[in-house]
Every structure is written in C-alpha cells, then in structure tokens.
Structure 1
C-alpha cells in the first residue's frame, strides 16, 4: 500500500500494548541525509484552552509502527515515548555583549 505524508496527518495513534490513545499525528520527522522517515510527531495537548501553551510533543519511532490503517495507526511501544522540545518557542535571555564576541 502506498501512502502520502498528507494521508498520515491527523490519524489517531493507538498503543497496542495497553490500548492507550497517544494522540493524532501532527508531523513527520525525516532524515534529509538518507531521505528516510524517522518518526511520527504527536503534538502535545493544549493547557487550559491554549492559554498556558501545550504539553511537550511526543515522538513515535518509525520502527514502533505496526499497522497504518484507514483512520488509525497502531504502534507497539513498551518504553516511554521520547518527548520533543518545541523549537522556536524558547526565548534566549541575552546579557551585555562580550568583548570577545566576534559577531560585533
């Protein structure tokens, strides 16, 4: 069966070990060097209607996927899923410029 990344988007992910609903596919992690799919990304749930951000994203390794169905994706994972730190949301606190800073 052939599928597109677009077809994976929003499918529900279920852990077959305990029947836990992990969430919906939000994104796909790809290794651009080898042109291979590494993992599915499940976006974290919103905290208090999104006012307090959201929980960390969960990463499901591609090797844990057992079945991709019409509406759901079944995964077999006994280990806790790797949490992904959201990129672009952290604000770096900057102090005064260093006299050794080469970017000046």
Structure 2
C-alpha cells in the first residue's frame, strides 16, 4: 500500500469508538534504517481543530488492527493494560 492511499483515512479507536483525526493531519515516525513506519503521531486539537495544544498521541504501528477503505481502526491499550 502506498502512503498516498493511506492519506485522508479517518483514524478511529476501536475500544472507545472515538475519532482521533485523519491520516494526513498526523505525522509518521519512520525507521531510517529499514523505512518502516514505527509510530503515528496524532496531534491533540482544540477549538474545533484550529489550534493544537502541543500534546500528541503516539500510536505504535503494531496497534493498527485494520485498514479499510475509509478508516484505520486502532486498538489503543488502556493505561493499566500491557503494551
């Protein structure tokens, strides 16, 4: 799959059914040695998405459960669950 095919897909947390953002509004952390995507960096937005708070949610690629035609399903562990 190409990065351009991922862009624009909605990111959804499967446990809470919460929209986290769109891929394209996020940053990717890429392993320089092998070119693999390691982490999605999802910014925390406030004021209807116009201003970033500076915080970000770091989601390891291994937490992505399904990439569909319109959305990417992510399983973010609770704080008390092992990662």
TM-score, normalised to structure 1, is 0.60
Distance 1:28 1:49 in 2: 19
SS of the equivalent of 1:63 reads helix
More strand by share: 2
Distance 1:27 1:7 in 2: 15
Equivalent residues of 1:9, 1:27 under 8 A apart: no
1:18-37 aligned at under 5 Å gives the runs: 18-25=16-23, 26-37=26-37
Structure 2 spans left out of the alignment, 5+ residues: none
Equivalent residues of 1:5, 1:28 under 8 A apart: no
Deviation at 1:42, TM superposition (A): 2.0
Deviation at 1:33, TM superposition (A): 1.9
Structure 1 spans left out of the alignment, 5+ residues: 81-104
State which structure, 1 or 2, has the greater radius of gyration over its C-alpha atoms.
Answer: 1
Q: Which has the higher contact order (CA 8 A, sep 6+)?
A: 2
Structure 1 residue ranges (4+ consecutive) displaced by more than 6 angstroms after TM superposition: none
Q: 1:74 to 1:49 in 2, by over 3 A?
A: closer
1:23-102 aligned at under 5 Å gives the runs: 23-25=21-23, 26-47=26-47, 50=50, 53-55=51-53, 56-79=55-78
Q: 1:17 to 1:34 in 2, by over 3 A?
A: same
Deviation at 1:47, TM superposition (A): 3.9
Give the CA RMSD over aligned residues. 2.1
